[in-house]
Structure 1
């Protein structure tokens, strides 16, 4: 009894009204949770779902989550071209394999006897000892992920319908990648898969998957100049962004061939940086000659969770496994040289019409200025002095197929700007590089009390439409050095040129005081070209 009396002192009985209050709170909370769950289709808010695609466990689950490989995509092991019964059963029984890949065509592909039955074969093969249905029965219910590569437009709808029906009967719990080559790549043929038809069919029949996209490729006796060009990766970005709302909550992978990587890493990194939830897959084709340094280059430039490897090559795989996290020791010396001149987006501000779609496409690899209504301004300001200069490279593209206007179509680099909130009223010194090789230094919207000045030069442009520039504001005069480059994509183009020769020395008029600090500004002059700027930096001599 004493114990009960003592307990009552510490835990006095609750009033009846208070008990009712607690009951009503519990009921109210339950109602709120019930309504929330039904409105959102789950406990996770809808606005977070596109940002967290891994929460839906099924064929759309990411490989890194499903296989728990310490967030290192290089640890995912692939069984490629498992297109016959023996290859499939060997891959299933191999504990080291995570993902099993297969190729699909219609039986008799491209012949008069072509049927409507998808089989596992990679062209030029057109038949197999296993159909896609049989293949799914073997690989679709286990703990391996699957990747299917569609090789003909005729096989897309039939194959995806089979996949859908299989998943409805035997739900797939492991990752499913669906791949198609949708653009023409280096030395490749015109793609047989139409992206729009492929994508619409995929979204209708089997939208919950990892979408894998690639370029057709080929080989050549000399690949030293070959690459996934800026135009190629830009075309891929256009395809993805044409369905931005639908793709935004999908895991996305871009496939690239190892033998074509040497000159392609900046382009692929830029593509990855400008797409959501995307990764890169590097694959090695049997018979290709690939350098160890190229494997290390990709490992060095991409974080471990953003790049997969399907090498199918013992030496390359061993190299990757051993040096994946020490890749800096194995890269080409020019890769480290490029580190010194890489663009630093955090050092620049975007100004103008901020909502203009794709007005600026930025990455540590490069920045693309698409139109003149948006410009970039350096965050830091500088005093005019011979010890400081701005340098970089610009490559002009003509994706709108427009005629260039002499002394008008090109890139403006503004020195000593004082007003720059309006793109068409930037006040300062304008240094212009024309797409046709024209150079010009002149005042831009300067007060009438300052004497006008203009000095021009011209150079022969190269087929690459690429120019290296350096501008030094030396207080009393300005030095403008420009050189047309024959190659701007190859890794070797990062090698320092012989000293750039100043083509224009401009004496600056009185009234342009050089005692204040100013930023640098870059802007396209018109809509007739797009400008890709890389190796952009502000340097201090010595």
Structure 2
């Protein structure tokens, strides 16, 4: 206890035991802090830190941060094919350029004179007046970022080793992109870069970079039906997800050719939506004929921070600069039409085995159901009436290379469900679209007091294996309209076709009427196909 002595506040000395107690507490706290810091790599646990590689400040730094372009990737300017001494010197003095791109081959590429020295050139060229090492010495003298495109498997390890050694001597503080075409794309040949070997080498030698991946492409006299298909982007997603632990904090960019964009935006947007920290780069090949509206389509559909442009074309660049944030004024009318049928993931709930990896791959562009043990349920509910219906399209994929099981392999759409927590015991009316064209309406796990009913039909499937459907629950009977479509990929497929005609009209037995509101449910029946569903919506007739 403190007391006053000669107008001074005086504290008596502490007992020895109390001092020892305080000392032990201080030492204990220090030990706890030491252990905590070492286990978590800092005072704040890693799991509490946002995984935002955009705020790194080495060679993995994001372009948006490095060049301070206010989250608008279209403002990043590129210099492409900077593969000579003169071009790299000129580019480094050009204040308009942010990123310098170069192509790497081994000297004598593809000839009997091929060496182990990486030089800057693009096939079919076989040599250059500048080596990759010399190119780095010049390209790294300023504040611009670099992007290297590797064109042969033999050049990967040698080039990345040079990059690693350069970074060790003089740490890189600007963005570095490492690009390879790792999958076969529209009209493209078989890729020369094996993704697994490329990725393992990159992670071993120079992991701190932006990983840039693309598809091989080619030209064709008519590109109106060409696209980066759903299978192509799905294959790319599989590559990324096979290494998702290693790529947790990596920036990833998918590169797509502008002349092939017209029918590919939904697929590319779906890929970006399902890949963490990913963006899309649209590049224009010299000589490609591309309508203005295709540039605007990408600008309209992608947020500004998620899409880069390497156009190398004055007209297209001027159009992008002027209309990037007013792109709706310049898009094709079918792009705006597609807005009316966009899938809304926020309107649906995932149910079943929630931890089943990739059981649902959702985006505003489409949702893919890959496993019957998971289903989706609409958040909005309805009363049976002719004024409400569900509509959409389903495309079946055979990525597991399995035979279909007739009247079993396909998509279930459940109407008027009452129990739906377990995937294998959904109670309601089951409307089935089979991958082989089978259609069926029947009861699903209904109480025994309700008479059984079943009505079937069949239609001839098309090569697209795609169906448009509409189901109207009219209280006393159910109307099931389905049409086999010849295309579900082209932008033009969004055009409304003739009125869907009900193929099955089913009188419903007594005991099902009820006055309760019900959701809609979608679920795959088995594992033999994957179902991609787009243009899915619940409509109210006007």
User: Scaled by the length of structure 1, what TM-score is found?
Assistant: 0.94
Is residue 189 of structure 1 aligned with residue 203 of structure 2? no
Q: 1:118 to 1:43 in 2, by over 3 A?
A: farther
Q: 1:131 to 1:22 in 2, by over 3 A?
A: farther
Question: 1:272 Cα shift?
Answer: 0.5
Question: 1:142 Cα shift?
Answer: 2.0
CA contact (8 A) 2:390 2:538 kept: yes
SS at the partner of 2:341? coil
> Which residue pairs with 2:372 in the alignment?
372
The correspondence of residues 127-206 of structure 1 with structure 2, limited to 5 A, is 127-206=127-206
CA contact (8 A) 1:141 1:170 kept: no
> Which residue pairs with 2:484 in the alignment?
484
CA contact (8 A) 2:55 2:62 kept: no
Is residue 352 of structure 1 aligned with residue 352 of structure 2? yes
Unaligned runs of 5+ in 2: 1-6
What is the CA–CA distance in structure 1 between the aligned matches of 2:255 and 2:487, rounded to whole Å?
24
> Which residue pairs with 2:531 in the alignment?
531
Map Cα deviations across residues 52-99 of structure 1 (whole Å, 9 max, x no partner). Answer: 223431001111111111111111000111000111011100011110
Cα RMSD (Å) = 2.2
> Which residue pairs with 2:284 in the alignment?
284
Q: 1:406 to 1:93 in 2, by over 3 A?
A: same
SS at the partner of 1:228? coil
CA contact (8 A) 1:50 1:250 kept: no
CA contact (8 A) 2:390 2:470 kept: yes
> Which residue pairs with 2:393 in the alignment?
393
Unaligned runs of 5+ in 1: 1-8
What is the CA–CA distance in structure 1 between the aligned matches of 2:307 and 2:207, rounded to whole Å?
23
What is the CA–CA distance in structure 2 between the aligned matches of 1:114 and 1:282, rounded to whole Å?
32
> Which residue pairs with 2:223 in the alignment?
223
> Which residue pairs with 1:122 in the alignment?
122
> Which residue pairs with 1:109 in the alignment?
109
> Which residue pairs with 1:5 in the alignment?
none
Question: 1:45 Cα shift?
Answer: 3.4
> Which residue pairs with 2:403 in the alignment?
403
Question: 1:36 Cα shift?
Answer: 5.0
The correspondence of residues 191-270 of structure 1 with structure 2, limited to 5 A, is 191-270=191-270
CA contact (8 A) 1:106 1:154 kept: yes
SS at the partner of 1:65? helix
What is the CA–CA distance in structure 1 between the aligned matches of 2:304 and 2:26, rounded to whole Å?
46
What is the CA–CA distance in structure 1 between the aligned matches of 2:455 and 2:439, rounded to whole Å?
8
Question: 1:513 Cα shift?
Answer: 1.5
What is the CA–CA distance in structure 2 between the aligned matches of 1:14 and 1:332, rounded to whole Å?
84
Q: 1:118 to 1:12 in 2, by over 3 A?
A: farther
SS at the partner of 1:470? strand
What is the CA–CA distance in structure 2 between the aligned matches of 1:14 and 1:143, rounded to whole Å?
62
SS at the partner of 2:245? helix
What is the CA–CA distance in structure 1 between the aligned matches of 2:82 and 2:50, rounded to whole Å?
32
Question: 1:284 Cα shift?
Answer: 0.5
Question: 1:356 Cα shift?
Answer: 0.4
> Which residue pairs with 1:468 in the alignment?
468
> Which residue pairs with 2:56 in the alignment?
56
SS at the partner of 2:198? helix
Q: 1:200 to 1:387 in 2, by over 3 A?
A: same
User: Scaled by the length of structure 2, what TM-score is found?
Assistant: 0.94
What is the CA–CA distance in structure 1 between the aligned matches of 2:507 and 2:343, rounded to whole Å?
30
CA contact (8 A) 1:141 1:172 kept: no
What is the CA–CA distance in structure 2 between the aligned matches of 1:319 and 1:13, rounded to whole Å?
80
Count of matched residue pairs: 533
